[in-house]
Structure 1
Amino acid sequence: MSYTLNCSILLTELPLLQRAEAAKRAGFDSVEFWWPFSEAVPSDKQVDEFVASLKNAGVQLDGLNFFAGDMPAGDRGLVSWVGREAEFKANIEVVAAIAETTGCKAFNALYGNRIQDVSAQAQDELALENFVAAAQGVAGTGGRILVEPVSGTETYPLKTAAQALDVVSAVKAQGAGNIALLADFYHLAVNGDDVPAIIEAHAAEFGHIQIADAPGRGAPGTGDLPLQQWIRRSFELGYTGKISLEYKQDAATAFGWLATANTSA
């Protein structure tokens, strides 16, 4: 088993462009990021600097989010956001270019919060269109779109694995097969989903796994979730990807649990 380190939620004591190098020093060869820019279409210079930080550190970018709006302000994606269609389509081109340059294969496209004064049907129809476009946009590089249930945001409509899998099925029905569930065990657990049952039914189909303990969203061992048990069972049932460390913890204590885990970084 191998881990990938999410450098948008960990190592935040450092400037973003220094985090890949810090991840390498901590023993990780693989990293992932949420969208590392403040706009959907950053400058060429910004993209080049980000890519250079990965190459100079000697780490592989294994996961990247599409632009999701103003995350600190509560935004959770543009996929279903009626009125920002052009922005999302432009972002697809940037994501595909980064995929081509880095070899990244996994791209999380957050669905988007429900917005007032627009019907849920219209938002869902746009989401389907945008997911198909995103899948087509990264297909040429062997990329895959990830659909993630999220906790902590009441207006985000995908909270369970079943809801996300319905979206995956709808996109596949449109002929875009490179899309899969992102199984974030933390989000699923705190939303009340039956994580063991989801693993039993769908582990082989998971596009990606992310972990954090609950309560608190800290490192494994800081809460009550049987994360190692869930991880082992996922691999037994056919999951073949990496495990993303996507939890909140200061750098000094973030990785101590790895010394006693039955896995390696």
Structure 2
Amino acid sequence: MKKLLAILGFVVSINVFSQNVNRIEVFGSIIVEGDDITGITIFNTSSNQGTVSNEKGAFTLKVALNDVIEVSALQYQNISFKVNEDIIKSKKMRLFLIEEINKLDEIIVTKKGLSGNLNTDIEATKTFKLKNDDLYFGIKKNTSYSYENDALSNVDNIAVNMQNRLMVNGLNIVNVVDQLLLPLFRSEVSNKKKLGIPDVPVEAIKYYFGSEFLVNNFKIPEHRVEEFIRFVERDDFDFTLLNYGKEMEFLELLNKKSKEFLTKN
């Protein structure tokens, strides 16, 4: 009985402590392509309190440092991030959401010599059988055989590691670069064919969102965004960085070039 009371007292004390965390109210805004910004859920999992965006994409939420915020909407990719010191100091939160697009590739089903009778097809299937000697002395020319993973195979969860590496303050950096920055920088290249850069359709250039990202993350003045793009793409620029797969290298270059640009100007 005493142990039970001690446990209950411990749980209650934790509850009281979590409720006594001083949280401040921050003003947030949802930034998306288009006008479907109403009713997006912003939930503070640390305080179990949430809110939804209004018709202008605005919302208010009470947060504390290191609170975990989850943003979810059916039409956009869900994001999760921790509240950092910049959010606490500015009392502002701007969230870029990327549209969720699900595509199913076409699948063609063929018989490939199957009769349709399960027993007949199993008997006709060639299987690899180990000889007893193979168990003791190993399989000769083992590169000739391929083995599928089974229940004892190690699992390398690369999805979690990739997500941790590519999520920064709630943003999927690869998606932001691919959909906002690359089209913007590609559109300013004059000799695309010579440099092997594909043409950029007008509808793919999200100038407002791309320039907003440069202004908010690299402190580029709003009226000098185009000047900064030309500054980055000078004679020594490696245009291969505008290819997919080099998003992180491209961001590192933008960080370096933004400091040079702001210092010289």
Give your verdict on TM over 0.5: no
TM superposition score normalised by structure 1: 0.22
Higher relative contact order (CA 8 A, sep 6+): 1
TM superposition score normalised by structure 2: 0.22
